Structure 1
Amino acid sequence: MKNRMQKWSLTIWLLIGLFVFSTTVLASTSVDYSRQMGFGWNLGNTFDGFDQNKQLYEESWGNPRVTRELLQHIKAQGYTSIRLPFSVIDRQDENNVITKDFLARYQEVVDMALEEDFYVIINLHHDSWQWLKYWDGQESSLEFERYKVLWEQLATTFKDYDGRVSFESINEPDFEGGDKHAKLQAVNKVFYHIVRKSGGQNEKRVLIFPTLATNSDQVELDRTAAEILSYQDDNIMATVHYYSEWVHSNNMGMTSFDQVLWGDVTPRTSLLAFYDRLTNTFINQGIGVVIGEYGLLAFDRQSYDGQYANDSGELYKYIELMSAKSIETGIPIMLWDNGQHFQRQGETWYNPWFGEIVTKSMLGRSAYAKGFWKSYITDKTSSYELPMEWNGQKLSDIRFVEQSTGTEYQLQEGNDYSVSAEGIALLPNFVDRIKVGEYGLKGQLFIHCQQGAYWIQNISYANQISLDEVNGTVGEELMIPTTFNGEDGLYASLQNEAGNPVSYNTWWPYLVYLDEWVPKNNQNMIYLPAKMTGLLQDGTYRFILKTYQGTQVVYMLTVSDSQIVGKMVQTDTEIISEETTTEKETSETVELTTPNVDPVPDTNTSEETTNNLKSVTSDSKLSKKFKKAKEQVDKRVQKVKEKADQKIEKVQEKAQKLLEKIQAKQNKLLKR
């Protein structure tokens, strides 16, 4: 009888729980609430868009009208929460009353989102930098009054909505002059009291306070945590945004997810430290936190062939780890999508591989190559090692899709490849099929595991890149004739005679990819835009290019009377590793070129070069010629490293001071 009563009691409580959570969310703390939100998506550049034609509403920035079908497709991807950025800007009258039709249409979409069972964040968005940033800190000022009236209307409109709806005070708040933190706290305070006094469900509704500029530096997190705790209200959450480190996110020569940026910081370690700060500062103090936006800022820049400014494989690793840490910590993440990710009319992902990793990462870990997603087979290659990070996954199959024909076939284990805990070895039977015809991309390997997203590995047949002479004019486009021979440009720099960077970011040594320089493989050229040549004056400059395969080229630009002459510098030494003979040996060709002038300071490259030379030295068959070349290169590498240490130390000091300010401003521009 006792057991029967316990079963009935449990059944009743389960039914009550199902009923309660189907109508309202009774989260005991903001931490519980944040965990319930799960993975989220931003309906960006929609209701936050604005222009002179006030009647366009959500279509003002080019995205189509929101439909229920779109929300259903977003839900089908695995998302359980949605952020609906809302900008008023000029859609209000002289009394700050929001245009009736615009607010009604926004409310209609909120209703649809709830009907599709989303958690919904209502967020006042671009008003932050359009007019609120100019607030002088006086409560009698027009900006403060305007903010109050807007939230009075929003709070009243949605006061009877259930607990799945939360309110975010303002997006990426920043202010011109004065005490910025005091201003933000005043804005949050008036927001809090307006909502709490408006009645209905707003008395207990979850409210979201941003850090200053939604910055995640420890000092900002501490300020916001202390601010929230001072209210003694369990239904207040914090929010920050995360777009990785600026120089990686914008691909300023820092392409790899595991590349050292400065000190011992890589994009990966930065992400891990970011989650640690959120956990220690908020979760461990009983404060919920949501990463209201995440992504990489250069994603919108695409090349002629649809390649993205952010390396697709490194983007995969970033998304995969962001999701894994979200699951581990219970901190919800919300993908920023201004229309560049999910096709709102086609109702699928523009980049299927991006969609694959986003959706599969909501369920668990995925495997990936430890290096870049681009591999190069040369005439010296007999077999090829592809180190893998399996993340607990087991290989299912490998398929190869030929670039020229689109033909797909499955690789045979033991014949085409072997697999181990360390990775995948591509065997001679497969490699020999790549080494035919012209140099270039031969196809893609699709590596499938039993769970998780698939990994793509580009396979190219390559030799060595070569840049030909060119003539041009300062202030005009410069198109350098290039024979890529299957190689791909990784990063580049432009230096003056003193060795200082020539770019629009003189505090950083590398150029912005697909902005300040563009490799155009299908047009056999490297493109420097007019804005870059416009920086040149009479003198000599070094354009230094590094490829994915490891080739480094120095190309001299000589300017006289506004005329440019470009010529590749001859190398002192070229060292190529011997052909591998067994499937366990690496098959990558090491091509080291030492120019007549010092290359861009790059401690990582110098260490890599040293390691490559060590492997060559260990070969007993190494000729005297190569030994002598090694001695020369050793001296040059040491010289480069010494200069690198000096220059990078100076760069770090400048970057530390400028990165935060630059990132806050650039985030707003690139996100649009």
Structure 2
Amino acid sequence: MCITTRRLTRFDAQARGDLDKTFKRMRDAFVAQGIPVVLGEYGLLGYDNGPGAVERGEMLKYFEALGHAARTNKVTTVLWDNGSFYDRGKLRWKDAGLYRQIKSSWTTRSATASSDSVFVPKSGPVKDRSLTLNLNGATFTALTQGTTKLVSGQDYTLSGSRLTLKAAALTRLVGDRSPGVNATLQAGFSRGVPWRIQVDTYDTPVQSDTTGTTASFRIPTQFRGDGLATMQATYADGGNAGPTSWTPYQQFNTAFAPDYAKKTIRVTPAFLNALKDNARVKLTFHFWSGATVTYHVTKSGSTVTGATS
């Protein structure tokens, strides 16, 4: 048995609602009638496609919620794995943190947050940044950086479920504001696993004009500390472009893939070959900071031209 949710970048209220309704239906139709249920496959679409396809914090929220729903509805689960989760040769989990989250959900709930990243602009004054905690019945205990405990009221404040990192603390954490992750914090709670928070310095990504072919096309991209979340593709008339005609959103690592080391975004042959010839396509790249960058591509035979405007 397999359940899936719509394709999206965040585990939002609609996705949580879909998940809860699915488990309730299993409980009402079978478990409540004394019929045991084994959920034979569960996982995340895109996880098998390589790094970056699923944002880590959103992934952890999904597995925490699914484990809770399965336990409370008395459904036994089997994780689908083609080698991405577990190293069968070395008999160990490839991601120990993910395993801790899954294992914890068998017995209790863990708190999470609206994000696992706090983004600080490269320039301008550093301002307070807030996250919403999803306490899930737990209570907040501490915010730490390694073995150093941050000071409540000075480094951060907690008002209900709103955790605010103060500007002075963020200024200290980002240092010279080098692009990327400058510090990693950990929010501790009365039960479950802690929640990791990365403090990132970023600037709006910048792209450049280029040419290539349908077999090899890469968009020069200065990521400037940001991370790519997803890509939309539309024609000038507003119609969806690419192989997924039912949505403008394209599949990570199937239609596009960032290469942070080489400072490019690869647009795949599978995507390019699905475009109409000589039709200008608008690509909208969404980044985790909330920034968006618009780019245009035109395919003419096997030649592809990319432009920022």
Is TM (by shorter chain) over 0.5? yes
Distance 1:291 1:553 in 2: 40
Q: Which residue of 2 aligns with 1:438?
A: 178
1:377 to 113, 116, 120: 120
1:505 to 244, 261, 268: 244
What is the count of residue pairs matched by the alignment?
Answer: 305
Q: Which residue of 1 aligns with 2:17?
A: 269
Indicate the SS of the match to 1:297. Answer: coil
* 2:154 is equivalent to residue 415 of structure 1: yes
Deviations along 1:301-347, whole A, 9 cap, x unmatched?
Answer: 213xxx4x222212211111111122222222222233322333434
CA contact (8 A) 1:368 1:389 kept: yes
CA contact (8 A) 1:367 1:389 kept: yes
Distance 1:508 1:428 in 2: 39
Q: Which residue of 1 aligns with 2:194?
A: 454
* 2:234 is equivalent to residue 490 of structure 1: no
1:397 to 129, 135, 142: 142
Distance 1:381 1:477 in 2: 40
User: Relative contact order, CA 8 A, sep 6+: which one is greater?
Assistant: 2
Indicate the SS of the match to 1:522. Answer: coil
Structure that is richer in strand per residue: 2
Kindly state the Cα deviation for residue 377 of structure 1 after the two structures are TM-superposed. 0.8
* 2:48 is equivalent to residue 295 of structure 1: no
Q: Which residue of 2 aligns with 1:68?
A: none
Letter in 2 for 1:395: F
Kindly state the Cα deviation for residue 280 of structure 1 after the two structures are TM-superposed. 1.6
Q: Which residue of 2 aligns with 1:214?
A: none
Letter in 2 for 1:518: A
Q: Which residue of 2 aligns with 1:316?
A: 60
Distance 2:129 2:273 in 1: 44
Indicate the SS of the match to 1:279. Answer: helix
Deviations along 1:596-649, whole A, 9 cap, x unmatched?
Answer: xxxxxxxxxxxxxxxxxxxxxxxxxxxxxxxxxxxxxxxxxxxxxxxxxxxxxx
Distance 2:186 2:216 in 1: 38
CA contact (8 A) 1:538 1:562 kept: no
Distance 1:461 1:273 in 2: 39
2:30 to 282, 296, 301: 282
- State the structure with more CA Rg: 1
Gaps of 5+ in 2: none
Given the superposition, is the C-alpha separation of residues 520 and 400 from structure 1 closer, same or farther in structure 2, using an over 3 Å criterion?
farther
Indicate the SS of the match to 1:316. Answer: helix
Distance 2:262 2:118 in 1: 21
Indicate the SS of the match to 1:535. Answer: coil
Given the superposition, is the C-alpha separation of residues 274 and 568 from structure 1 closer, same or farther in structure 2, using an over 3 Å criterion?
same
Gaps of 5+ in 1: 1-239, 249-253, 260-265, 402-407, 570-672
1:464 to 204, 207, 210: 204
Kindly report which structure 2 residues correspond to 1:201-216, keeping only aligned pairs within 5 A, or say none: none
Indicate the SS of the match to 1:523. Answer: coil
Kindly state the Cα deviation for residue 409 of structure 1 after the two structures are TM-superposed. 4.1
Distance 1:463 1:502 in 2: 28
Give the TM-score, by structure 2 length.
0.90
Indicate the SS of the match to 1:257. Answer: coil
Letter in 2 for 1:483: Q
Distance 1:450 1:281 in 2: 35
CA contact (8 A) 1:377 1:435 kept: no
Distance 2:141 2:48 in 1: 33
Indicate the SS of the match to 2:229. Answer: strand
Distance 2:178 2:55 in 1: 25
CA contact (8 A) 2:242 2:272 kept: no
Given the superposition, is the C-alpha separation of residues 335 and 459 from structure 1 closer, same or farther in structure 2, using an over 3 Å criterion?
same
CA contact (8 A) 1:556 1:567 kept: yes
Given the superposition, is the C-alpha separation of residues 520 and 347 from structure 1 closer, same or farther in structure 2, using an over 3 Å criterion?
same
